[in-house]
Chains A and B, each alone.
Chain A
Amino acid sequence: MQYLLMLYAEEGGWARMSPAEQEQGVAAYGAYTQALKTAGALAGSNRLQGSATATTVRVANGKSQVLDGPYADSKEQLAGYYLIDVADLDAALAWAARCPAASHGIVEVRPVWSM
């Protein structure tokens, strides 16, 4: 089954880290991605730009409304995702727990709608 791991984190956190800590953080994500690849579980992954770069769009009465900012105005924002392919929820939760984001933020696990 495919699961989307959505990584939520406090946005100011990265900027407050020292260069050494940032380097360590990048390395941790690199290692995690590598581990997923080695296990044959990685289906896709990306880091996102900060929520200040987000724009929302909705169409009402045939007119599209474009607004600056993210959809949810919460302290933790979506910062990236991993799409993984594993046997079941327990396996997905085990990968989520290993993700560096689980230690400094929250990882939401969602099964992908299978056709």
Chain B
Amino acid sequence: MDRTAQARRAADAVARRSYGKLIAFLAAAMHDVAAAEDALSEAFAAALADWPRNGCPANPEAWLLTVARRKGVDRFRHHRNGEAAAVQLQVLAEIGESALAEGDDAAIPDRRLALLFACAHPAIDAGSRAPLMLQAVLGLDAKAIAAAFLASPAAMGKRLGRAKQKIRQAGIPFVVPTRDELAGRLDGVLEAIYAAFAEGWSDPGGTDAIRRDLTAEALFLARLVAELLPQEPEVLGLLACMLHAEARRSARRTAEGDYVPLAGQDVALWDAAMIDEAEALLLRASRLGRIGRYQLEAALQSAHVERCRCGRTDWTSEVQIYDALLALCGSPVVALNRALAIAELKGPEAALEIMDALAADGRLVDYQPYWAARAALLARTHAYRDARHAFDVAIGLAGDPAVRRFLQDRQAALPR
């Protein structure tokens, strides 16, 4: 292998291993995500020029940080003047001194959590938080993020640019909130991670490589936060919830790409290791004694798994979990799922009554699972005409061809 290829391979390895840590450290010191990204990318470019000639350094992280810091100082000299710049220059000159002196990248302080809190700050537009985290912490480019969030690359680039500008100009701090503020602020971080995961999840076949990667990236972020805040039960709950969903990925489609509902899935296709990890996380979370939305959602996933594995279901406790979840977040989707659990407990008529009341809310009118569930319940009460109509609406709202086929088959199977 020639030395250029060797240098490239070393740089790739550092990028994979330490990108988030290096960016977080630089961004926190410079109070500027975009400037940190520029400085680090210039440092990587310098590495590709320098390493083939002089060999890969023993501590590539420290090498990159030194160069990035110098680039950052140059930028400040070019673009800013006055007192603020002097302070920043001082900060930049000091950063990483100890880390670099140690010659050990483990000595670079981990500021990734602070960066995540900056990205999910309430002052940042809610729709930009998940994309910003993916870019800032994981280094995904705007094009890949745009594809995953079904936006145009230009629009996504603008959105990310605006968010970074807001961080810099409004003075959004790079700090982990204090104890009394942590719970509220953590919600924003978890919500953004969950949004990224859900975006990846919306490609259920996993055929779209970009989106499949997005669930992996979101899992990485959730693991990172769980590692950095091990005493926060909702973080563990979110990770458990995502692992449960991910564990069933390959069972959600047949080899022909047909949709398989949960009750019909082949349990042997589930990833048992992931499910075990999720269950262990949930147990750890429950011992911390502070219940929350993500723990409850994970508990429901856990109950579904138990049902399919052993054929036993405790619908009463499932309805209770839904009650608690509904009290916490009042989402119509939760209310819908609660109605379906009640259908198992008290029969389809009881569930349909609840669903009629839910329909008045208006937010479920164009929610495909609402109509599919309604159709199935109507079929169970032998109201086939109404069921056929509800299936029509559900089919019309389905965006996934496999789901559409599944619903069409169910509709065709209704007695005439």
Contact = CB atoms under 8 A, between A and B. Distances in A.
Contacts of A111: 169-171
A1 B88 CA distance: 13
Contact of B173 (A3, A87, A114, A115): A87
A92 B170 CA distance: 10
Contacts of A10: none
B1 interface: no
Which of A3, A87, A90 has the most CB atoms of chain B within a 10 A radius of its CB?
A90
Contacts of B82: 114-115
B184 to A, nearest CB: 12
A13 B81 CA distance: 45
A114 B172 contact: no
Contacts, number: 26
Contact of A114 (B84, B123, B177): B84
Contact of B172 (A3, A89, A115): A89
Interface residues of B, number: 12
Nearest to B174: A88
Which of B81, B170, B171 has the most CB atoms of chain A within a 10 A radius of its CB?
B171
Contacts of A89: 121, 123, 170-173
B123 A88 contact: no
A92 B169 CA distance: 13
Interface in A87-115: 87-90, 92-93, 111, 114-115
A111 B169 CA distance: 7
B386 to A, nearest CB: 47
Report, as a range, how many residues of chain A touch the other chain.
10 to 19
A111 B170 CA distance: 5
A90 B173 contact: yes
Contacts of B81: 115
Contact of A92 (B84, B171, B177): B171
B132 to A, nearest CB: 16
Contacts of B173: 87-90
A44 B82 CA distance: 22
Contacts of A93: 123
A93 to B, nearest CB: 7
Interface string B318-331: 00000000000000
A111 B177 CA distance: 21
Interface in A32-91: 87-90
Contacts of A88: 171-173
A88 B175 CA distance: 10
Interface string B79-116: 00110100000000000000000000000000000000
Which of A1, A3, A89, A114 has the most CB atoms of chain B within a 10 A radius of its CB?
A89
Nearest to B84: A114
Contacts of B175: 90
Nearest to A93: B123
A114 B170 CA distance: 11
26 contacts: A1-B171, A3-B171, A87-B171, A87-B173, A88-B171, A88-B172, A88-B173, A89-B121, A89-B123, A89-B170, A89-B171, A89-B172, A89-B173, A90-B172, A90-B173, A90-B175, A90-B177, A92-B171, A93-B123, A111-B169, A111-B170, A111-B171, A114-B82, A114-B84, A115-B81, A115-B82
Ranked 9 nearest A-B pairs via Cβ: A88-B173, A1-B171, A88-B171, A89-B171, A89-B172, A89-B170, A111-B170, A90-B173, A115-B82
Interface of A: 1, 3, 87-90, 92-93, 111, 114-115
Interface of B: 81-82, 84, 121, 123, 169-173, 175, 177
Given A89-B121, A90-B177, 17 more contacts: A3-B171, A87-B171, A87-B173, A88-B171, A88-B172, A89-B123, A89-B171, A89-B172, A89-B173, A90-B172, A90-B173, A111-B169, A111-B170, A111-B171, A114-B84, A115-B81, A115-B82
